């Protein structure tokens, strides 16, 4: 158990969160789009901290699980906590892939592939616009005002 409240935002909260998104974020997070490779702001981020869902603030990945996959998108070998990411079969674009969505709000994050490094051999390939970054020691985002673990410092 991660200590984070995974209850989805209610309709009013969700509308308020969605109102903060720009066009690119809406296209990716809400319409399951993809940003172009090698352009995301977090691709080359080497700072220590936590990557969270851009929409609801749930921590998704730690910087110590990030690696350079050479694909053009930020890649991680393990999520922040197993229950923070949900997996959905994706048959779009004439192929079968595993889509990743935020377990709390359902926002599209990217896809996971079985070709990553040890110990998991997973490559969680994410869109930068799906994420926010909190430097180690700074308070994690808490856009839903839930407090508790939500207000903790990035580890």
Residue bearing tokens 């779009």: 92
Element holding 133 (H helix, E strand): strand 131-135
Q: In sequence order, which ranges of 19-77 are alpha helices (DSSP H)?
A: 23-25
**Residue 112 C-alpha from the chain's centroid:** 12
Instruction: Spell out the long-range contacts of 86-95 with Cβ–Cβ below 8 A and sequence spacing 24 or more.
Output: 87/112, 92/32
User: Is 131 within 8 Å of 74 (Cβ atoms)?
Assistant: yes
Q: Which of 56, 102, 105, 125 is catalytic?
A: 125
Longest dimension (CA), the chain: 43
Active site residue 39: no
Cα separation, 105 vs 124, in Å, equals 18
Which active-site residues does the annotation give? 125
């Amino acid at each position: 158990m991660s200590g984070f409240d995974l209850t989805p935002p209610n309709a009013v909260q969700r509308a308020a969160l969605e109102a903060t998104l720009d066009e690119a974020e809406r296209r990716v997070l809400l319409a399951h789009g993809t940003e172009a490779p090698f352009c995301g702001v977090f691709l080359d981020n080497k700072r220590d901290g936590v990557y969270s869902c851009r929409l609801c603030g749930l921590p998704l990945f730690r910087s110590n699980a990030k690696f350079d996959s050479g694909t053009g998108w930020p890649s991680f070998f393990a999520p922040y906590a197993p229950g923070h990411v949900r997996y959905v079969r994706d048959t779009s674009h004439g192929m079968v892939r595993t889509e990743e969505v935020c377990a709390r709000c359902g926002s599209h994050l990217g896809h996971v592939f079985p070709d990553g490094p040890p110990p998991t051999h997973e490559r969680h390939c994410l869109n930068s616009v799906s994420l926010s970054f909190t430097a180690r020691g700074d308070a994690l985002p808490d856009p839903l005002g839930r407090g508790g673990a939500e207000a903790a410092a990035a580890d």
